[in-house]
Amino acid sequence: METRNHAASRPRQAERRRNQALRQHFDTAQSLLTPLLGNPDQHSGAAFYKAMTQLQATFPDMSGNEIEALVAAVVRSVQTRSGGR
């Protein structure tokens, strides 16, 4: 069993994610997009377009690539939650 002091003495792994700003917006994006993307069986081009449009309106300062990354992260989260379809 690892003690608190031993765990604190381990070197921290370098953060592998490049865009930390997206991480702070994930929870908001997930709550906005879950109604649109909550059922993996109903994912279509129209659902993804609506999701991207909604995020662009919510976060107008984000680039298209960042919006796509957030949509993809929410989709992965929904698919994982629903059993990895």
The answer for residues whose C-beta is within 8 angstroms of residue 50's C-beta and 6 or more apart is 36
pTM assigned to the model: 0.70
How many domains in the chain?
1
Q: What is the pLDDT at residue 82? A: 63
Q: Tell me the CB-side half-sphere exposure of residue 71, using CA atoms within 13 A.
A: 24
C-alpha 70/C-alpha 24 separation (Å) is 11
Residue 74, in any domain of the structure? yes
Residue 10, in any domain of the structure? no
Residue 37, in any domain of the structure? yes
What average pLDDT does this structure show over 46-53? Answer: 92
User: Could you read off the pLDDT of 9-45 as tens digits, one per residue?
Assistant: 666 666 555 667 788 899 999 999 988 887 777 778 8
C-alpha 55/C-alpha 58 separation (Å) is 5
Residue 59, in any domain of the structure? yes
Q: What is the pLDDT at residue 42? A: 75
What average pLDDT does this structure show over 43-57? Answer: 91
* Average pLDDT score over the chain: 80
Other CB atoms within 10 Å distance of the CB of residue 25:
18
Residue 84, in any domain of the structure? yes
Structural domain boundaries enclosing 36? 27-85
- Whether the pLDDT of residue 3 is over 80: the answer is no
Please check whether residue 74 is in contact with residue 34, taking contact to mean a CB–CB distance below 8 angstroms: yes
Residue 41, in any domain of the structure? yes
Residue 43, in any domain of the structure? yes
Residue 40, in any domain of the structure? yes
